[in-house]
Amino acid sequence: MPQNVQLTLDGAKKVKDLKPIFASEPELFDDEEGGGAEHNILITYVLYEMQKGEDSFWHPYFEVLPKVTNFWNWPLE
């Protein structure tokens, strides 16, 4: 599958607007400084893309995801 149609760590790290955020918070975004950096980078990338709304390449994908506000309210199915 082509890289440009995958939500990846490498793709997130290449986003110009996010680079300063990742660099300014090494305890969140650098595995050598703290744990969970990969998850934090991907979460930040997804939130960044979601806030772009229809301007995001990922908008159609986000639209088909289930709308869940609280994890404890997820339906069993």
Kindly report, residue by residue over 15-41, the tens digit of the pLDDT. 999 999 999 999 999 988 778 999 999
Per-residue confidence (pLDDT) for residue 33, from 0 to 100: 78
Domain count, the chain: 1
Give every CB contact of residue 50 below 8 A, 6+ residues apart in sequence.
56, 58, 62
pLDDT bin (cut points 50, 70, 90) of residue 14 is very high
Range of the domain at 7: 3-73
Q: Which residue has the tokens 């990742």?
A: 22
How far is Cα 18 from Cα 32, in angstroms, rounded to an integer? 19
Q: pTM of the entire structure?
A: 0.79
